[in-house]
Amino acid sequence: MAETEDFVGQEHYPVNDNLFKEPMRKRRRSDRDQRFRAFPSMEQSALKEYEKLESRTRRVLSNTYQKLIQSVFLDDSIPNGVKYLINRLLTLIEKPLLDPIYIGLFGSTGAGKSSLINAIIQQAMFLPVSGESICTSCIVQVSSGCCEQYEAKIHLLSDQEWKEELKNLTKLLHGTEEPGREEADVWDRGDAVEEAIWKLQMIYGNGAERKNYEELLRAKPKGKIPTSRIITLKAEEAGELSVKLDPYIRTKRRDWDEESAETQIWPLIKHVEVTLPKSELIPEGVVLVDIPGTGDFNTKRDEMWKKTIDKCSVIWVISDIERVSGGRAHEDLLNESIKACQRGFCRDVALVVTKTDKLHLLEYLRERKMGNQAIQSQREAVLERNEMIKLQRNRILKEKLKRKLPADSKLLEASDLVYTVSAQEYWQQALLTEEETEIPKLRAYIRKRLLDKKRRMVTKYVTEAFGLLLLTDSFNCTENLPNEYLHMSGLRRSVEEKIQLLEEAIDQCFAHLARPLQEGVRNARTSYRRALGACLARSRGNQGFHQTLKAVCLKNGIYASRTRTRIDLNEAITQPIYDQIDPVFGGIFRAGTPSSSALMPHIDAFKHSLQEKMTEIGIRNGWKLDSCKKSFLIQEISAILGGLEAYILRKKRRIYESLTASVQNDLKPCYEEAAQITGKKACERMKDVIRRGVDRQVAEGMFERAQERMQHQFQQLKNGITEKVKGSIATMLTLASSQGDALYKELADVKSEYKEMEKLHRSLREVAENAVLRRGMQDFLLRMSPSKAGPPKT
């Protein structure tokens, strides 16, 4: 989704005096055709029709733009209305073909994320894989494009970002010693300290962990760091790029003796972008994201970890077959993914169970509890077990989703919430066929997501372009209505009334959250000590844990490690509030079925009521049935309000996180105090400071303040929506006013472009009907085709 703050209207299309800009050149046909190689022939046909519609629409817009530019080129003063129109045209012409679909592969150590990506892209060892150990050390994005070579861009922390981490690493190392402890105990360090030492030694060499912050600032890194903070790798073949990329993204073990120039800057790597040339399996416009672990100690990397999850429209929670039935890490990952549905762009969550070829036949037969049919082979046992896992985990996942999402959420209706895959069998096919590994099923899912998004995007694009051509044509429209001013005055009054009704509807939406918020605050007040105690008692005794606790305090209550479960004290003590508000919060921001609590259906209803009012006023006051002004106003309303959804979704994250952000801000002084503690029994003293600090803040109304801040964020969202609607519609009505307002002049004749755009708009229905016919034919052929036989029985 485009990261633009505003939407169609006065703010999104400012009057720009630099009008004579050359529009970007369109993509060559050969390049466009290459983008469809990942699709079967029927899906290719649908995509080509949508691509043709989009391309012809851009051509019409570009011709219109050129005509308007030529008509005003020699003018000393260009009316604001014309400037607005030309800027709108240029913005639509240069609008991206398709915002990427991010699919996040989210899993713990050794779950098989990289192996799964390798299988999906048909490159066996492209990303590093290594059994049970951690392999991928940073976020890796894999996509395909029209480049001729394989390419990787390695993004490093900026100088300032590394200095911030360096300061925290040295605080962690030099502030946790406890005089009087035995030497053996001193070296019984927690993961936080071990990782800090490792990073410093990797960048500055052995002994770096004994230097202070100022000394390390003056030290010269062992590896060469480019001033651009980006390293670009290119190769003709996938294997060649894989070899070059491996040292940068493979996690280094401390017992490895091998060290290269690439490994020396490994701690500085923020994320990696890999682009494949013209993939026949992954369509352009899809980005597979390998998201390792549960965050990072570095603030910027941890922010990127969370933002990456939030920008994914699809999240696959990856868990291997031996861990899927339990384990805290698996549950934490599932919970984080469901939160992404609440605060981010995620619309689809699924559990992908990997390594499903693993099965000890004799043990399985002894414990088997289903059916009387005899198992004849390892393959039959694997397929039966996989089906059982699907049924069990689908039920459990759906129950978990029901507790967090609104009852009519589309995700709860999904037919495939669980996939059972085997990357190893995909390559070997000793037990399972290619289809039974479900790798092709995941590819088909990816293609469907892209095709659906392309259809929606082109429909919206052509409709918006048609509205813009209506506006352009209306500039030369000869409708001469004596009561034109009265028309617009009546519309303005009606708009004001409708906006007031919209404000009341938004208030009603947010009012549904009031009671759950209050109940959640009450629950948090009674249970916060238990939640805090669970976070502060993560290990037996204090050996090794006091450094981890130090790291928690240095990062204001949060500790993220590549190897351990994420610790977030702020989130833990606010969880009772989220447990109460989650279903209602999700209901407010969902699309689809109208209800008193859903925001977007109210905005849709506002749109339709405005359009009906415009039609009614037009008919009553003598506008022709095909009046260009009436048509423009109706289309423009759709464009203005259609852009609101992206704005609302971006604000949603800030609202959702306002509870933990408020608590974190209130507890910051006690975290800072605890972080300064050193010496004997430092761990217990830190815990005591945190407990007393939380108690004090709760007594002073910490949870109530968090509640007020969330309600304030909702109020800001309402104000933002109404201000944007008022401003944009006011601009629209001004532009639709008569020529007497001195906004217009006689422009170039664009009748031919308008007629062409009208044909394209009508053809949208034909393209949609063709797509339905193709889907029906494809389903029929799939039903009639014989199923493939499996490998020989073993």
The model's pLDDT over 500-518, given as tens digits with 9 standing for 90+, comes to: 888 888 898 889 999 999 9
- Does some domain include residue 145? no
- Which tokens hold the place of 618? 């037009």
Q: 598: how many CB neighbours lie within 10 A of its CB?
A: 23
For the ranges 404-413, 443-452, 747-756, the one whose mean pLDDT is highest: 443-452
Q: Which residue is it, tokens 């055709």?
A: 33
Confirm if 406 and 509 have CB atoms less than 8 A apart. Answer: no
- Which tokens hold the place of 518? 């209050």
For residue 103, the one-letter residue type is I
- Which tokens hold the place of 320? 């291997």
CA distance 453 to 638: 18
* Res. 391: pLDDT tops 60: yes
The residue that leads in pLDDT, 261 or 38, is 38
Query: By C-alpha distance, which of 310, 294, 169 is closest to 558?
Result: 294
The residue that leads in pLDDT, 775 or 325, is 325
- Does some domain include residue 187? no
- Does some domain include residue 248? no
Domain boundary, last residue among 689, 709, 738:
738
3-state DSSP call for residue 658? helix
- Which tokens hold the place of 281? 């399996």
* Res. 433: pLDDT tops 60: yes
Mean pLDDT of 69-97: 79
Q: 725: how many CB neighbours lie within 10 A of its CB?
A: 25
pLDDT value, residue 5 = 37
Query: By C-alpha distance, which of 32, 89, 24 is closest to 60?
Result: 89
- Does some domain include residue 89? yes
Judgement on whether residues 559 and 644 belong to the same structural domain of the protein: yes
CA 480 from centre of chain: 50
pLDDT value, residue 7 = 36
Judgement on whether residues 597 and 717 belong to the same structural domain of the protein: yes
**Environment class of residue 54 by beta-carbon count within 10 Å: exposed (0-12), middle (13-18) or buried (19+)?**
buried
For residue 243, the one-letter residue type is V
Judgement on whether residues 445 and 571 belong to the same structural domain of the protein: no
Mean pLDDT of 693-719: 96
pLDDT value, residue 32 = 55
CA 388 from centre of chain: 31
Mean pLDDT of 742-746: 51
- Going through 370-478 in order, the beta strands assigned E by DSSP cover 418-420
Strand partners, 314: 103, 348
Mean pLDDT of 251-280: 74
pLDDT digits (tens, 9 = 90+) for 11-21: 444 445 555 55
Domain that holds residue 497: 477-738
Of 562-576, 605-619, 632-646, 731-745, the poorest mean pLDDT is in 731-745
Query: By C-alpha distance, which of 84, 89, 83 is closest to 731?
Result: 84
Of 613-622, 736-745, 747-756, the poorest mean pLDDT is in 736-745
Confidence of residue 733 (pLDDT cuts 50, 70, 90): confident
Mean pLDDT of 423-439: 94
Of 163-172, 333-342, 556-565, the poorest mean pLDDT is in 556-565
* Res. 479: pLDDT tops 80: no
pLDDT value, residue 24 = 55
Helix axes 658-675, 545-554, angle to 10 degrees: 120
What are the distances in angstroms from CA 80 to CA 659, 741, 744? Answer: 44, 11, 8
- Which tokens hold the place of 546? 């006091």
* Res. 115: pLDDT tops 60: yes
Strand partners, 142: 274, 288
Tallying the residues shown for the chain, one arrives at 794
Say which residues have a Cβ less than 8 Å from residue 135's Cβ, sequence separation at least 6: 114, 127, 128, 129, 250, 251
Mean pLDDT of the chain: 81
pLDDT value, residue 741 = 43
What whole-number percentage of the chain has pLDDT above 90?
35
Angle 88-93-99 from CA coordinates, rounded to 5°: 105
pLDDT value, residue 660 = 96
B/e letters for 194-223, b = 16+ CB within 10 Å, e = fewer, are: ebbbbbbbbbbeeebbebeeeebeeeebbb
Judgement on whether residues 577 and 606 belong to the same structural domain of the protein: yes
Backbone phi and psi for residue 39, each to the nearest 5 degrees, phi listed first: -105, 145
* Res. 159: pLDDT tops 50: yes
Judgement on whether residues 602 and 720 belong to the same structural domain of the protein: yes
Judgement on whether residues 601 and 709 belong to the same structural domain of the protein: yes
pLDDT value, residue 110 = 78
Domain boundary, last residue among 475, 493, 525:
475
Mean pLDDT of 190-202: 83
- Which tokens hold the place of 420? 């059972």
Q: 677: how many CB neighbours lie within 10 A of its CB?
A: 21
For residue 518, the one-letter residue type is Q
Confirm if 245 and 238 have CB atoms less than 8 A apart. Answer: no
pLDDT value, residue 769 = 74
pTM of the model: 0.85
- Does some domain include residue 694? yes
Domain boundary, last residue among 687, 722, 738:
738
* DSSP conformation class of 263: G
3-state DSSP call for residue 365? helix
CA distance 529 to 624: 70
- Does some domain include residue 675? yes
Judgement on whether residues 656 and 706 belong to the same structural domain of the protein: yes
CA distance 598 to 584: 9
* Res. 395: pLDDT tops 60: yes
The structural domain count of the chain equals: 2
- What's the sign of the alpha-carbon dihedral 729, 733, 735, 741? negative
Q: Which residue is it, tokens 């289309």?
A: 635
- Does some domain include residue 743? no
Judgement on whether residues 646 and 505 belong to the same structural domain of the protein: yes
Judgement on whether residues 455 and 579 belong to the same structural domain of the protein: no
Judgement on whether residues 581 and 526 belong to the same structural domain of the protein: yes
Helix (H) or strand (E) segment spanning residue 275? strand 269-277
Judgement on whether residues 629 and 724 belong to the same structural domain of the protein: yes
pLDDT value, residue 333 = 84
CA distance 429 to 440: 13
Judgement on whether residues 451 and 512 belong to the same structural domain of the protein: no
* Res. 321: pLDDT tops 70: yes
CA distance 201 to 198: 5
pLDDT digits (tens, 9 = 90+) for 290-299: 987 667 777 7
- Does some domain include residue 235? no
H helix and E strand count, the chain: 26, 11
Could you tell me whether strands 101-107 and 286-292 are parallel, antiparallel, or unpaired per DSSP bridges? parallel
